[in-house]
Amino acid sequence: MEARVVRAVQKRQVLFLCVFLGMSLAGAEPLRYFVAEETERGTFLTNLAKDLGLGVGELRARGTRIVSDQNLPFLLLNPLTADLILNEKLDREELCGPREPCVLPFQLLLEKPFQIFRAELRVRDINDHSPVFLDREISLKILESTTPGAAFLLESAQDSDVGTNSLSNYTISPNAYFHINVHDSGEGNIYPELVLNQVLDREEIPEFSLTLTALDGGSPPRSGTALVRILVLDINDNAPDFLQSLYKVQVPENSPVGSIVVSVSARDLDTGSNGEIAYAFSYATEIILKTFQINPTSGSLHLKAELDYEAIQTYTLTIQAKDGGGLSGKCTVVIEVTDINDNRPELLLSSLTSPIAENSSETVVAVFRIRDRDSGNNGKTACSIQDDLPFILKPSVENFYTLVTEKPLDRERNTEYNITITVTDLGTPRLKTKHNITVLVSDVNDNAPAFTQTSYTLFVRENNSPALHIGSISATDRDSGTNAQVTYSLLPPQDPHLPLASLVSINADNGHLFALRSLDYEALQAFEFRVGAADRGSPALSSEALVRVLVLDANDNSPFVLYPLQNGSAPCTELVPRAAEPGYLVTKVVAVDGDSGQNAWLSYQLLKATEPGLFGVWAHNGEVRTARLLSERDAAKHRLVVLVKDNGEPPRSATATLHVLLVDGFSQPYLPLPEAVPVQDQDDSLTVYLVVALASVSSLFLSSVLLFVAVRLCRRSRAASVGRCSVPEGPFPGHLVDVSHTGTLSQSYQYEVCLTGGSRTNEFKFLKPIIPNLLPQSTGRVVALQDKKVQTRIAAAAPLTGKSSRTWKPTGSLDAKEKTAGSSEEDYSLQYF
């Protein structure tokens, strides 16, 4: 029967809740739910999705949770159905005591987006407690002279239930002398009075034993009993009378135990034992008896235990003064407990988000609530964090705060933040609470790899071994994890002709560079390319750097002689007049070295000579000069071997062979030996020529003078005279042989060559230098070598540095008159060396 009644009550409560919930939401009032105490765990209360007008999925996605100040898990939210379920049995008397209604406030917290709904659970009382008297026996002393109608105050019973289930009536066992009157104290409490119906006669009935019954208003009602023992006394006609019927006092909650709260005083006009007054509590509750004690003689009220404003703010006490004759009086003492700032603010953290991705916009980091159990200014709080942090506090309803990022975070500057939330109340003295929160910042790939240098210069010596490590590049990434893992690569070269893939390779993990093949300085002195560094983030970021590789020279090339040619052909012979002074420039050995630097610094020295001491070689420029005056005793032909050596380590060298012919003058004919003639035959022919030259030196000298005179006359009157430089059929212009800066001559030379018109021979008659500032050694000889072909061999003081010979071909050819029988017409050529 009781279960059906409870279910009917619950149905009515649910119906009432639906109506009330709509009204509360419309008026911004808290959501209210009702439940009877001692209801079984797991009982369905309501569906929050319907109450809030949200879908079940939306409610779950918004991270709904239940938050309460008591931190009691009395409610449970089913995330799948959004049902609000009772999580445990509730004892209304334990939760709220005598307070009615019993309200348990809580909040519905929705995080995404942040929203709070206030709600409360009201626990309805059931009649589960019977009235109880603290004293099982009540003693009264009544004078026999007491007039009918006199009332005697009795101890009241205690009932933990409230409302209709609380104490509602008193009865006493049937008798002819007494009855019970029930009075309301005005504060929701009732107390019984024993009223005398007729005059007592001590001699007839000296003592009464009556049963006092206390009844509550429950259904069915519960009861409790106490025995009332009445002693009939002799006459005492004055009851104690208090000076004040009501005492009001304010006591700070931090008053020490044992301190006096208030002193009450009563007087009795009787004398003797009838005038002696004893003070005591009347129908005091258990809490009052534990908190206060009264001196029965002086009436001083003392603290027996500490007061707590946050628990009980007001105490109402009834003090009885009883004389020795059994008469009594009463007064009421109202004690108001005043609040002091003795509670620090509390920070109740509801949610915390960590880590937070860097570069994200305004993000809710934490949601918390501030609570201070004090009142007034003592309960008002202020909340703050450090000023140097990129976070701000935003207040919300019901003392809720959200900690929000003020700007995007940068993990590379700070990987974590230690936030201290300081809560201070406004009481005196001010109390504060600090709560530390650590927020981690997660990485986002927002930094490209950075090379330690914008460009790298690497050096590698030529002829290196393949796969040689030639250097390293390095890049760092300020991100972390895979976002900071760097991979290196070669970028396509800007020069399409550079075979970069066959020259170098790179280790993708550490940036080491390797030469893939042996490098040749003479073929490739330097090359450059770009390398890239990319991280493994998403999306990947990259950067570039320039790498320049310089190939260092090694001494791997021997000197090469350009002049005189050493190709195995007919040797080149230098003519030196016997009248040459010491230091006469015979020729110059010209050599080059394919290397560079000191590996290409060449030095010259005379390795072998036919007559040591006759010729010398300058070490730095390869000039071959006479070391002394020539004499008739000196051999006509000399063979010199010049050693050309570079300055490398180890040094490399080459040799050049020179043939020098001493002649008495440049008019002496000299015919080089045929190329096919062996060297020994050439030496014998040269000896014959020298002998002939010595025998005809005088005639040659005279011929030379005549030639010089004829040439001068030819220049002055070239058109009129038969001896002018012309050919029989027309003028044959003289050709200037220009050897300016061709080869290694130290100065420019020009020679004019003319042919005699009627000699019928092919011999050049005159050789004259055009530039007047020639060295004295600069002389020439013109010799007819063969028919219809003229070669001019010029031995100059300045040696050659370029090619060993040059050829010029005149524009015209010899006239038919100049031809000899059986000869063919050929071009004229000039050869100098």
Predicted local confidence at residue 776, as pLDDT: 35
Predicted local confidence at residue 232, as pLDDT: 86
The mean-pLDDT minimum among 140-144, 493-497, 671-675 falls in 671-675
Task: Report d(CA 414, CA 441) in Å as an integer.
Answer: 8
For β-strands 300-303 and 292-294, DSSP reports them as antiparallel
Does residue 291 have a pLDDT over 60?
yes
Arithmetic mean of pLDDT, 527-551: 93
The mean-pLDDT minimum among 39-48, 195-204, 803-812 falls in 803-812
Does residue 792 have a pLDDT over 60?
no
Predicted local confidence at residue 80, as pLDDT: 85
Assign 633 a pLDDT band (cuts: 50, 70, 90): confident
Task: Report d(CA 44, CA 53) in Å as an integer.
Answer: 18
Arithmetic mean of pLDDT, 225-249: 87
Higher pLDDT, 310 or 684: 310
The mean-pLDDT minimum among 185-189, 231-235, 236-240, 815-819 falls in 815-819
Does residue 649 have a pLDDT over 70?
yes
Return the half-sphere exposure (C-beta side, CA atoms, 13 A cut-off) of residue 669: 16
* CA distance readout (Å), 143 to 68, 227, 230, 293, 326: 59, 20, 10, 29, 8
pTM of the predicted protein model: 0.49
Predicted local confidence at residue 297, as pLDDT: 92
The angle at the Cα of 827, spanning 821 to 830, to the nearest 5 degrees, equals 120
Does residue 687 have a pLDDT over 70?
no
Predicted local confidence at residue 641, as pLDDT: 93
Predicted local confidence at residue 737, as pLDDT: 34
Predicted local confidence at residue 666, as pLDDT: 59
Predicted local confidence at residue 698, as pLDDT: 66
Higher pLDDT, 99 or 791: 99
Assign 268 a pLDDT band (cuts: 50, 70, 90): confident
* Strand-pair partners of 661: 575, 637
Does residue 784 have a pLDDT over 60?
no
Predicted local confidence at residue 623, as pLDDT: 93
Arithmetic mean of pLDDT, 693-720: 70
Predicted local confidence at residue 644, as pLDDT: 94
Digit-coded pLDDT (tens) for 110-139? 888 888 888 888 888 887 888 888 888 999
Cα 816 versus chain centre, distance: 97
Task: Report d(CA 428, CA 440) in Å as an integer.
Answer: 37
Does residue 259 have a pLDDT over 90?
yes
Does residue 434 have a pLDDT over 70?
yes
Predicted local confidence at residue 92, as pLDDT: 82
The mean-pLDDT minimum among 8-17, 257-266, 703-712, 715-724 falls in 8-17
Arithmetic mean of pLDDT, 644-667: 86
- Mean pLDDT rounded to a whole number for the chain: 78
Arithmetic mean of pLDDT, 212-219: 88
Assign 596 a pLDDT band (cuts: 50, 70, 90): confident
Arithmetic mean of pLDDT, 706-710: 82
Does residue 425 have a pLDDT over 70?
yes
Predicted local confidence at residue 55, as pLDDT: 85
Higher pLDDT, 815 or 371: 371
Task: Report d(CA 436, CA 419) in Å as an integer.
Answer: 6
Burial 682-702 (b: 16+ CB within 10 A, else e): beeebeebbeebeebbeebee
Task: Report d(CA 675, CA 681) in Å as an integer.
Answer: 11
Cβ atoms 307, 330 nearer than 8 A: no
Burial 609-638 (b: 16+ CB within 10 A, else e): beeeebbbbeeeebbbbbbeebeeeeebbb
Cβ atoms 404, 394 nearer than 8 A: yes
Predicted local confidence at residue 733, as pLDDT: 37
* Residue 204 neighbours by CB under 8 Å, 6+ apart: none
The mean-pLDDT minimum among 101-105, 378-382, 501-505, 627-631 falls in 101-105
Arithmetic mean of pLDDT, 378-392: 91
Does residue 828 have a pLDDT over 60?
no
Predicted local confidence at residue 799, as pLDDT: 36
The mean-pLDDT minimum among 154-158, 186-190, 490-494, 609-613 falls in 186-190
Predicted local confidence at residue 491, as pLDDT: 93
Arithmetic mean of pLDDT, 626-640: 89
- 3-state secondary structure at position 56: helix
Does residue 178 have a pLDDT over 90?
yes
Range with the largest mean pLDDT of 22-36, 337-351, 785-799:
337-351
Residue with tokens 């009378």: 241
Digit-coded pLDDT (tens) for 462-481? 889 999 999 999 999 988 88
Closest CA to 450 of 317, 341, 327, 545: 545
Give the percent of the chain with pLDDT over 70: 77
Assign 15 a pLDDT band (cuts: 50, 70, 90): very low
